Amino acid sequence: MTNENSPPKSASGDAPEPPETQPRSGGKRVYARLDSDVTGEQLGELIEDMLAAIDISPYPQDLLQDATMSELPGRLADLLDGLLEEREHFLVVSVEPPGYYVQFLPQADGGLYAEAVSNEFLDEAARLTPEARACLEQFGWLLTGPNYSQAWGSPVPVAEVAHLAVQTLTEVYALGSPSRLFLLFGKRTATKDV
């Protein structure tokens, strides 16, 4: 599978070596050409390699995986504290598989905006039941856009937010073990708050 963002091919059909320029993120430039017979496993490995090359995370992707369920809210609260202090990154906490997530974006005024995934971004097999959607609303998540969202002003009740996120991950998204959690930190590029 190739697209207009793929690097140009040489006369032999192979992709040339990428230029020696560095991307704005300071990480490595990664090119990939996918054949039409690529397997899902190969694609997953490629995506993992590409994310590792980006190197935007101030924390390891598996930071929460060795936590016990009782330690999880405290560890997440620590991450949120750091996120709010530096305000340069967003955080996505995902349950893999099937790709459920909650994500957090610190605001310039010291507040915090969060989203919980909706059916808009889920595969058919992972769709939320009417009961799960009602539970999200019971927890205070509102479907105001493509995802459910909540916002807190400054000072953010970080322990309460972490507890809510863990409650959402366990009771709505069926997280049974932190070993299925993955973190993605990204550098904020937008200057506007949500």
- pTM, entire model: 0.69
**pLDDT exceeds cutoff 70 at 54:** no
pLDDT per position as a tens digit, 92-120: 999 988 889 999 999 999 999 999 999 99
Q: Label residue 188 by pLDDT band (50, 70, 90).
A: confident
Q: Phi first, then psi: what are they for 34, rounded to 5°?
A: -105, 130
Which strand ranges, in their side-by-side order, compose the sheet holding 89-95? 142-143, 148-152, 112-116, 100-106, 89-95, 181-187
Q: Phi first, then psi: what are they for 125, rounded to 5°?
A: -70, -20
